Amino acid sequence: MDELPPVGLGTMGIGDPDLIETALDVGYRHLDTAQIYRNENAVGDGIAQAGLPRDEVFLATKVWADSLAPDDVHETTAESLDRLNTDYVDLLYVHRPVDTYHAERTLGAFDELVSEGRTRRVGVSNFTVPELDEALDVLDAPLFAHQTEYHPLFQRPELLAHAREHDYWLVAYSPLAGGKADEIEEVTAIARKHDTSPEAVCIAWLASEENVHPIPKASSREHMVANLEAATLELDPEDVERIEGIEREEELFPE
């Protein structure tokens, strides 16, 4: 399994190329976008403004659910590459396995894009364990990542176990619980113990987990830096146990 940096940047809602440039300037090297975010132009412009060699930025985007028929996969990926001003993405996801998704036809098209060099790796997003098993059976390319909502209030140990068993990344979106990190008693107690923020605790918890890669969104230099630095925070085993024992559950993005 190829390595990812400890923390990536989720870009949903970020439409300013200057913020993408800032993220790269402070040290981010994984940028995550999607067709449905309607910000691929801004992400591509920000990368260009930063002036980094293309191979120093791990760039991921996602094909939306209405474009998962094979011809549409090819067409919309070409449009994404044009908006991103690149010949390839490092990772291309199926955004959700609904609407026009058909495992064999859709993932067959993704395999073709790997062969053509338009994406280096294949990922899926918002899949269940049975859907993941089906994808593994169908794909010729290795499954590189499964992106899913994952935070202290929405833990999916069965998805993490599956990622570890089959050696791919679980990419955790909304790792800060949709801005509710400071409302989670267990997390705030751990933050006080370590003299840090609840947000840092959430990121440190995920970044320390085997096969997990968090991609928090941040819209200011201060928060971008703080999220990167959070990955260096070392939690105690009892801290991890306390977070994993949280019984409250809130899903931010149900299907």
Residue 235: alpha-carbon gap to chain centroid: 22
Phi, psi (deg, nearest 5) at residue 215: -130, 70
What gap in Å lies between CA 32 and CA 12, rounded to an integer?
Answer: 8
DSSP 8-state secondary structure symbol assigned to residue 218: -
What gap in Å lies between CA 180 and CA 183, rounded to an integer?
Answer: 5
Do residues 208 and 2 touch, judged by C-beta distance below 8 A? Answer: no
What gap in Å lies between CA 93 and CA 136, rounded to an integer?
Answer: 14
Q: Biggest alpha carbon distance in the chain?
A: 54
Phi, psi (deg, nearest 5) at residue 164: -70, -40
37 an active-site residue?
A: yes
DSSP run (H or E) holding 170: strand 169-173
First to last CA, the chain: 29
Number of residues assigned to the chain: 255
Among the listed residues 37, 93, 168, 173, the single catalytic one is: 37
For the packed helices 17-26 and 221-230, what is the interaxial angle rounded to 10 degrees? 40
Q: Report the DSSP beta bridge partners of residue 62.
A: 93
Question: Which residue numbers are catalytic?
Answer: 37
